[in-house]
Amino acid sequence: MRFEITAQSANSRARTGELHLAHGTVVTPAFMPCASRAAVRACGAEDVAEAGVQILVSNAYHLYLQPGMEAIEACGGLHRFMDWNGPILTDSGGFQVFSLAAPKDLAEEGVIFRSPVDGQQILFTPELCMEIQNRLGSDIAMPLDECCPHPAERDYVRASLERTLRWAERCKAAHERDDRALFGIVQGGVYADLRELSATETARLGFPGYAIGGLSVGESREQMLGALRAAMSALPLDAPVHLMGVGTPLDIVDCAAEGVDLFDCVLPTRNARHGSVMTWAGPLRILNATYATDPRPLEEGCECPCCRSLSRAYLRHLFKAKESLAWRLLSLHNLRFYTDLMRRLREAIATDRLADLRSRLSAWTQRDRS
Amino acid sequence: MRFEITAQSANSRARTGELHLAHGTVVTPAFMPCASRAAVRACGAEDVAEAGVQILVSNAYHLYLQPGMEAIEACGGLHRFMDWNGPILTDSGGFQVFSLAAPKDLAEEGVIFRSPVDGQQILFTPELCMEIQNRLGSDIAMPLDECCPHPAERDYVRASLERTLRWAERCKAAHERDDRALFGIVQGGVYADLRELSATETARLGFPGYAIGGLSVGESREQMLGALRAAMSALPLDAPVHLMGVGTPLDIVDCAAEGVDLFDCVLPTRNARHGSVMTWAGPLRILNATYATDPRPLEEGCECPCCRSLSRAYLRHLFKAKESLAWRLLSLHNLRFYTDLMRRLREAIATDRLADLRSRLSAWTQRDRS
């Protein structure tokens, strides 16, 4: 893995870059759609490539539980399994273990939980987590971390981030593939000093890139930005930074201004399945009766398959009729919106016009976390 | 509309033909996937075209209830609404009114039912049915008919087919668009003499093509073929014939041998949503544990998007994870199977080798109506 900074904003920490990975180069800042179960919800790999997506995020926890490693290895690894030839970052699944699997026990060795798929008891350790990701063959792997809930007591968060650091060290030792990158993950909740401590100690372990986890879990926007700034202040400037699970268009612009290079979020595809369409005029609710006879595309000038040839009236009809085609089409539109957003963001950084881009997104301010 | 017979089998009534319609030419025998609500379930119009589909079947009843005529007209008619530039046949919705809408009253004037969408009381008449289809702009329209349940008493079936004949006459009078075709529909249940009577009288009214309705509704295979033969014996040889709602691969081959030119059925897409994949070796149940680590395509040599690059293991995983992408991919495979089946059927007719094709489908015999 190699990261080159191609432009540095004069009045913020924002920068553009090129991240060279085993399966190709990603221009940054980049948005990575979620393909947790080896598919972007409702979309095929060809669809996603056509929407301009450069890199996907998949998930060690989900794929380990189902379909399991044997299935994916029998097909030649995760890329060939899902027929996606671009880069893939895999999350360790720390967030999912703690939020979805209701862990039975959390110890120094690892975390014990029952599989929601077959009820089997599983001990998820840093070593297992690395073994899974090594076998998946992802371009970027993540260490096992504990993602604290919000709110959480300071003492709990501190003990947790220290264990996460010890787990990171074990993950680094267990990471086998030289051709693939392992990032470090910064935790620390909403406590600025703990974020700084976690970032300093994670950077001391030494990784080619860093992720900032445990944000966008219910804290306020100010708390999120404060925690992010504290973490960024202690991370090396020449390494790529991934802000996990963020976010809305406005969050992305504001966090890129803090120096973040990579983003991932379920928002474009989840919103699509809820009938919420992303446009430069703000969110468009497809079920709104206004659109029942509206022959216009979702957004003039958009190059997605919806906007090229389909009307709001047709998309509303499909969504109302609960045709799964609607989820796919609206997802492809929202993914294309993010592709366009990131392109404009990179242009704005390179020309020092972030404020202009931010004002174009003013329709999103009040619906920030919608 | 113009129909040319291009080859006639020497040892059966089977023939190949070209059906020239407002939106293009269909080579027959042809299979028409169902797009009742203006979309082939889970598939986009581009997908369907890529699967080799020539013509779609949509439905006046469904589209009238939702989204309604205003929405479709605002977008320039049904073809532009759903972005499908090929021919469309619309069923009147007679079958749906009687099977889905639990009619409150059936009278000479028409049939009264409550809309399952908004509970509004609707009087569906032959004239309304033609108005809807004229406004939709389908290439082939169907008259309003009563589709009798099975079993049904002979006297009921006879009275019903006579009313269907009177409705057909009213539909013919109400059909406005010279550039679009209106077919006649033959009813008569499983009674051979009533089928012959209905065919004779419908042909006497004079239509450019004929549909045979009310079969594949629970009768035996022998009853279906008997009723079909009786109807065919009284229809003009130079008009195209559509057997409505049929069927399985074997049904299609056997009914083509009786002279049927057009088929429609929900089987390929419904089976896909139930995880049943159509192959030349017979049905393949994707959830079968055998496929969990199977890197092979669904069918060697198939050109569908699944078989080009995806494994049985991946498709099983998507289906098990309830990813709607699985429904789309398996539907595209099954549609491609039907495209290949119809191509081989046309070749077999032209070279008088129907028996060979039938024996290739032997794996389907025991699972005929599955």
Q: Tell me the CATH number at A255.
A: 3.20.20.105
Q: Which of B47, B91, B251, B261 is an active site residue?
A: B91
Read off the pLDDT of residues A216-231 as tens digits, 9 standing for 90 and up: 999 999 999 999 999 9
Contact B314 A38 (CB under 8 A): yes
Contact B67 A37 (CB under 8 A): no
In a domain, B366, yes or no: no
* Predicted confidence band of residue A98 (pLDDT cuts 50, 70, 90): confident
Q: Which of A46, A125, A130, A53 is nearest to A91 (CA)?
A: A130
Number of CB pairs < 8 Å for A and B? 124
Tell me, yes or no, whether B277 and B180 share the same domain: no
In a domain, A214, yes or no: yes
Task: State the pTM of this model.
Answer: 0.97
In a domain, B348, yes or no: no
Four-residue CA torsion sign, A283, A285, A288, A291: positive
In a domain, A350, yes or no: no
Tell me, yes or no, whether B310 and B168 share the same domain: no
The answer to whether B65 touches B116, Cβ cutoff 8 Å, is: yes
Look at residue A362 and tell me whether its pLDDT is greater than 90: no
The beta-carbon neighbor of A82 closest among B42, B81, B314 is B314
Residue where a domain terminates, one of B238, B265, B292 = B265
Tell me, yes or no, whether B223 and B290 share the same domain: no
**Chain A closest-CA separation from residue B327 CA (Å):** 9
Four-residue CA torsion sign, A311, A317, A322, A325: negative
Read off the pLDDT of residues A162-185 as tens digits, 9 standing for 90 and up: 999 999 999 999 998 888 999 999
- The count of structural domains within chain B is 2
> Measured between CB atoms, does A350 come within 8 Å of chain B?
no
Distance CA A92, CA B208 (A): 64
Tell me, yes or no, whether B155 and B255 share the same domain: yes
Give the mean model confidence (pLDDT) for residues A91-102. Answer: 86
> Measured between CB atoms, does B170 come within 8 Å of chain A?
no
Look at residue A248 and tell me whether its pLDDT is greater than 90: yes
In a domain, B106, yes or no: yes
Catalytic (active site) residue A193:
no
Q: Which of A145, A254, A261, A264 is an active site residue?
A: A264
Give the mean model confidence (pLDDT) for residues B115-130. Answer: 94
Look at residue B246 and tell me whether its pLDDT is greater than 80: yes
Tell me, yes or no, whether B226 and B245 share the same domain: yes
In a domain, A197, yes or no: yes
One-character DSSP codes across B145-170: -----SS--HHHHHHHHHHHHHHHHH
In a domain, B351, yes or no: no
Q: Which pLDDT value is given to residue A22?
A: 97
Look at residue B368 and tell me whether its pLDDT is greater than 80: no
* Predicted confidence band of residue A369 (pLDDT cuts 50, 70, 90): very low
* Predicted confidence band of residue B369 (pLDDT cuts 50, 70, 90): very low
The parent domain of residue A243 ranges over 2-265
* Predicted confidence band of residue B317 (pLDDT cuts 50, 70, 90): very high
Tell me, yes or no, whether B296 and B236 share the same domain: no
For strands A210-212 and A184-186, give the pairing.
parallel
The answer to whether A213 touches A147, Cβ cutoff 8 Å, is: yes
Tell me, yes or no, whether B278 and B166 share the same domain: no
In a domain, A286, yes or no: no
A49: chain B residues, CB-CB within 8 Å: none
Q: Which pLDDT value is given to residue B257?
A: 98
One-character DSSP codes across B280-300: TTEEEETT-GGGTT--S-SST
B312 φ, ψ (degrees, to nearest 5): -55, -40
Distance CA B1, CA B208 (A): 8
The answer to whether A297 touches A316, Cβ cutoff 8 Å, is: no
Mean pLDDT of chain B, nearest integer: 95
Tell me, yes or no, whether B256 and B302 share the same domain: no
Q: Which pLDDT value is given to residue B2?
A: 97
Q: Which pLDDT value is given to residue A164?
A: 97
> Measured between CB atoms, does A43 come within 8 Å of chain B?
yes
* Predicted confidence band of residue B366 (pLDDT cuts 50, 70, 90): low
Tell me, yes or no, whether B26 and B139 share the same domain: yes
Read off the pLDDT of residues B330-360 as tens digits, 9 standing for 90 and up: 999 999 999 999 999 999 999 999 999 999 9
Tell me, yes or no, whether B167 and B218 share the same domain: yes
**Is residue B20 classed as helix, strand or coil in its secondary structure?**
strand
Catalytic (active site) residue A264:
yes
Contacts of A220 (CB under 8 A, 6+ apart): none
Question: By CA distance, what is B81's nearest residue in A?
Answer: A314
Four-residue CA torsion sign, B79, B83, B86, B89: negative
Q: Which pLDDT value is given to residue A178?
A: 86
> Measured between CB atoms, does A67 come within 8 Å of chain B?
yes
* Predicted confidence band of residue B370 (pLDDT cuts 50, 70, 90): very low
A318: chain B residues, CB-CB within 8 Å: 37-39
How far, in whole angstroms, is CA B196 from its chain's centroid? 22
